[in-house]
Amino acid sequence: MEDPILEYQVLDAVHANEGHVTQRHISQRAGRSVASVNFALRLLAVKGYIKISGANPRNLRYHLTPTGILQKSILAYNFLKRQSALYEEVRKDVLEKLKGLAEEGIRKVDVYGRTPFTEGAVLYLVSEGIQVAAVYVDSLDGEGPFFNRIPLRPISEFEGVCGVLVLMGPLPAEIEDRIDTRRLICYPVS
């Protein structure tokens, strides 16, 4: 199968609902058409990953074989391996962009956005002797503390005191006019 994501989704749905899953359920869960799920199920059966039982086409049962369980694990591992490599590449790029701040003599910044890279960026900035005055987020709803000494604030309260804002996500439109774009360090915003 040329679509490892669909293959994983089908194997996962069959595994999670052993013998009690319909093609329609799998298609809704995967966000794919019933026809593509039907094709995937039949192909996975030919490969020996799924066993199809039942005589009535409207009442078929799908079961994962031991080989199917192994294939599901292999697909998950390969996906995580690719994602880990991508994450590491992006993380290095973020840190490379932040290096320039210390070289410019900047000693205090604000950070906007809570992403998987925010914590690493803040730790790097602090390690370079740059004070992070605050971490701004869209809303404090459900947000726990960021770091003990760095306040977490809603972006609506942003004053621009530090002059430099490190963006870890796209700014809300209503905030963009209040910010001097010459003092933005944008990453990973495209």
Domains in the chain, start-ordered, CATH in brackets?
A: 4-64 (1.10.10.10), 86-186 (3.40.50.720)
Cβ-based neighbour number of residue 167 at 10 Å: 19
What are the φ and ψ backbone dihedral angles of 43, each rounded to 5 degrees?
-65, -40
Cα distances (angstroms) measured from residue 81 to each of 4, 72, 101, 119? 14, 14, 32, 22
Reported as a pLDDT band with limits 50, 70 and 90, residue 190 is very low
Higher-confidence residue: 147 or 43? 43
Higher-confidence residue: 23 or 186? 23
| Structural contact between residues 137 and 143, judged by C-beta atoms closer than 8 angstroms | yes
Show contacts of 56-62: CB within 8 Å, 24+ apart: 61/19, 61/20, 62/14, 62/19, 62/21
pLDDT at 56: 80
What are the φ and ψ backbone dihedral angles of 97, each rounded to 5 degrees?
-65, -35
Cβ-based neighbour number of residue 125 at 10 Å: 22
Higher-confidence residue: 99 or 66? 66
188, pLDDT greater than 60: no
Higher-confidence residue: 177 or 26? 26
β-bridge partners, 165: 110, 184
